[in-house]
């Protein structure tokens, strides 16, 4: 039988109504504890003063971020009143909005789009991870252990909407083919009665695994809990033991009871301690709190937050990890040194996007400083400019790489999700590394294992696409594809095009119908023969007054579906295209998800689309060039993709 107490001696558990900060002994309140409370409040006031001092200098930055924030409230689909109003889910419980809040846009329930089973069945993906049924959201505690990749996730075992959250569990040999295992952790203790929420795994030097996760208590207080494998010799990690002294952390003084969640993977310091970060907020400023521990049971709150940014609101699912300056390989979370930069990432509760920034970590002072404050966390770069949230990385010691998981939610109506019986999926796992060429971007790229699904391929070499034209590509099918493409603009037109001061934004433009001399150009994905439905993935190039080119990478969902109860936003952002580089992209098409990667993964866009005609054998792929003047030459290689093996593990209850 496995040792039930593998760590240091266990302290007595907190009483369910005790919300004081644990100090290791769980004693009743004392003068020392009261002094600690006063000190904690004082630290919060100091942090607020620091934030307010920075606020003035950063308010101007927020006005530049319209490109990054897209509001459903302004979408065309919600312009009319509805009889069936969408229901908010998650916010009252203390987490971010978990409902898509998409409605039919119709004044009469009889005008809602008549989805049939054939349409809804087509939407289910073939090679992206998702449970067999019901609701899924955040990725939790991914790790590689004894020959298996483990993936845990937020899961509702009872319905296709958020609620009753427990941990689902699956294993894989290659991150592509998955076997579903029994639920890993249930909401069966007072400290996680209202939900077993997001957490992270840490692999100790002796190979043991510890899991820290957020629980929502019987009184909806967010607390941090410890769990570990019941049998460390089991490569499938089927059984998990919750520490009898849970919770190990409760909200410190000055932090709201619903503003304290999602502990990170721990990293090891030069002082021989483990360090974790937990997302929170002070006022309207998002912050990442820091705790030190030697045993994952007793913790000390550090006086200085890892980082904070005014006006960014609650930080969820904070991630912190090193990347090599040379961009050659992944690094263990504890790695540090002169050849290392550190990434801080936060999922913003306010706008449901994942932001990151590169910077320098000062271990002695427990602080991180962004390389460029104008693109700090929450006001600058995003992992993905479409639907991609609550992401989590892990270091894959098996292949020496850092791998990124991200939750891809739905953007149709909840009514449709309930009818089809499932909601949400995970993006294809991506490797993450520093872009050594720019030094200011991360490169995200589908893990190499996805290429094992490639079947027959079609190549199209140097196809000329004239201004204002569409070119069909002859494929057997266009529902499951891996597309690699490169484009070149007519150099003569590029030189002779008049300079302009055009201010362009993917989100506020007219999508692929927005034209200039040099674009847009790209691909029409999941299109029908008549182009009544199609989703353009494209580049748009502007030529500035000094002759410099600026390139944007966009996805236009405005004509993706005839349905009136789906999101039809236009996504995208600027993408660096360096001198001598062609315009390159890769697109993974898998039924209702389109994942697009520009310039080797400098900018990525994930879309959920729900066509009604461009499905099954009626789906087509086209090249297009809607530029006014420039010819475009395109070369492509396109693979049909096989279906991944994703099913229950045999002979396990």
Catalytic residues: 138
Can you list the alpha helix ranges (DSSP code H) found in 12-92? 31-62
Residues, the chain: 653
Taking the C-alpha atoms of residue 636 and residue 222, their distance in angstroms, rounded to an integer, is 50
Of 425, 484, 437, the closest CA to residue 458 belongs to 484
Nearest CA to 184 out of 158, 152, 160 is that of: 152
| Collapsed DSSP state (helix, strand, coil) of residue 599 | coil
Which residues are registered as beta bridge partners of 401?
396
DSSP-derived letter for residue 450 is G
The alpha carbon of residue 587 and the mean position of all alpha carbons in its chain are separated, in whole angstroms, by 17
For the residues of 251-300, what is the DSSP string, one character each?
A: PPTTS-TTSEE-PPPPEE-TTS-EEEEEEEEETTEEEEEEEEESSSSSEE
**Number of helices (H), then strands (E), in the chain:** 4, 37
Beta strands in 325-383 (DSSP E): 340-348, 353-362, 367-370
- Please give the DSSP secondary-structure letter assigned to residue 498: P
Three-state DSSP class for 34?
A: helix
Q: How far is the C-alpha of 116 from the C-alpha of 133, rounded, in Å?
A: 18
Q: How far apart are alpha carbons 305 and 298 in whole angstroms?
A: 19
**C-alpha dihedral, 168 to 173 to 175 to 179, nearest 10°:** -30
């Amino acid at each position: 039988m496995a040792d039930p107490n593998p760590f240091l001696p266990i302290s007595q558990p907190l009483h369910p109504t005790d919300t004081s900060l644990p100090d290791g002994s769980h004693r009743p309140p004392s003068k020392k504890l009261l002094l600690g409370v006063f000190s904690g409040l004082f630290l919060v006031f100091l942090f607020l003063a620091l934030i307010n001092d920075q606020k003035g200098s950063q308010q101007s930055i927020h006005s530049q971020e319209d490109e990054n924030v897209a509001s459903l409230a302004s979408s065309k689909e919600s312009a009319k009143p509805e009889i069936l109003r969408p229901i908010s889910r998650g916010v009252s419980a203390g987490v971010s909005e978990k409902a898509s809040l998409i409605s039919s846009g119709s004044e009469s329930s009889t005008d809602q789009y008549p989805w049939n089973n054939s349409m809804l069945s087509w939407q289910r993906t073939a090679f992206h991870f998702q449970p067999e049924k019901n609701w899924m959201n955040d990725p939790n505690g991914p790790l590689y252990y004894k020959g298996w990749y483990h993936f845990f996730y937020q899961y509702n075992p009872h319905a296709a909407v958020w609620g009753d959250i427990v941990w689902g569990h699956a294993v894989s040999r290659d991150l592509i083919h998955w076997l579903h295992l029994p639920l890993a952790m249930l909401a069966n203790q007072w400290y996680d009665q209202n939900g077993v929420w997001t957490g992270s795994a840490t692999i100790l030097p002796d190979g043991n695994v510890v899991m820290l996760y957020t629980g929502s208590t019987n009184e909806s207080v967010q607390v941090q809990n410890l769990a570990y494998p019941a049998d460390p010799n089991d490569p499938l990690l089927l059984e998990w033991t919750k520490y009898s002294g849970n919770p190990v952390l409760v909200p410190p003084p000055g932090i709201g009871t619903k503003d304290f969640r999602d502990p990170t993977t721990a990293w090891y310091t030069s002082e021989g301690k483990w360090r974790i970060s937990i997302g929170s907020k002070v006022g309207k400023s998002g912050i990442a709190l820091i705790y030190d521990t030697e045993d994952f049971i007793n913790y000390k709150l550090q006086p200085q937050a890892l980082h904070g940014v005014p006006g960014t609101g609650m930080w969820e699912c904070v991630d912190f990890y090193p990347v090599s300056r040379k961009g050659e390989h992944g690094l263990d979370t504890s790695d540090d040194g002169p050849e290392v930069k550190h990434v801080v990432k936060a999922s913003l509760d306010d706008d449901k996007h994942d932001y990151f920034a590169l910077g320098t970590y000062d271990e002695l002072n427990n602080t991180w400083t962004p390389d460029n404050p104008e693109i700090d966390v929450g006001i600058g770069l995003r992992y993905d400019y479409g639907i991609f949230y609550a992401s989590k990385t892990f270091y894959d010691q098996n292949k020496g790489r850092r791998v990124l998981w991200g939750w891809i939610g739905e953007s149709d109506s909840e009514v449709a999700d309930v009818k089809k019986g499932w909601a949400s999926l995970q993006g294809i796992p991506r490797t993450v590394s520093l872009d050594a060429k720019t030094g200011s971007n991360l490169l995200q790229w589908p893990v190499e294992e996805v290429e094992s699904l490639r079947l027959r391929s079609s190549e199209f070499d140097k196809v000329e696409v004239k201004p204002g034209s569409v070119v069909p590509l002859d494929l057997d099918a266009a529902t499951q594809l891996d597309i690699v493409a490169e484009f070149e603009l007519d150099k003569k037109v590029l030189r002779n095009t008049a300079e302009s001061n055009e201010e362009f934004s993917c989100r506020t433009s007219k999508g692929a119908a927005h034209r200039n001399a040099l674009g847009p150009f790209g691909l029409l994905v999941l299109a029908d023969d008549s182009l009544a439905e199609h989703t353009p993935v494209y580049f748009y190039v502007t030529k500035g007054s000094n002759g410099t080119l600026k390139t944007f990478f966009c996805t236009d969902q405005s004509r993706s579906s005839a349905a009136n109860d789906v999101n039809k936003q236009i996504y995208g952002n600027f993408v660096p295209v360096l001198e001598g580089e062609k315009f390159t992209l890769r697109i993974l098409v898998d039924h209702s998800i389109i994942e697009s990667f520009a310039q080797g993964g400098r900018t990525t866009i994930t879309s959920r689309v729900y066509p009604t005609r461009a499905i099954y054998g009626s789906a087509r792929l086209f090249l297009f060039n809607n530029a006014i003047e420039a010819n475009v030459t395109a070369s492509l290689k396109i693979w049909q993709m096989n279906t991944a093996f994703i099913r229950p593990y045999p002979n396990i209850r």
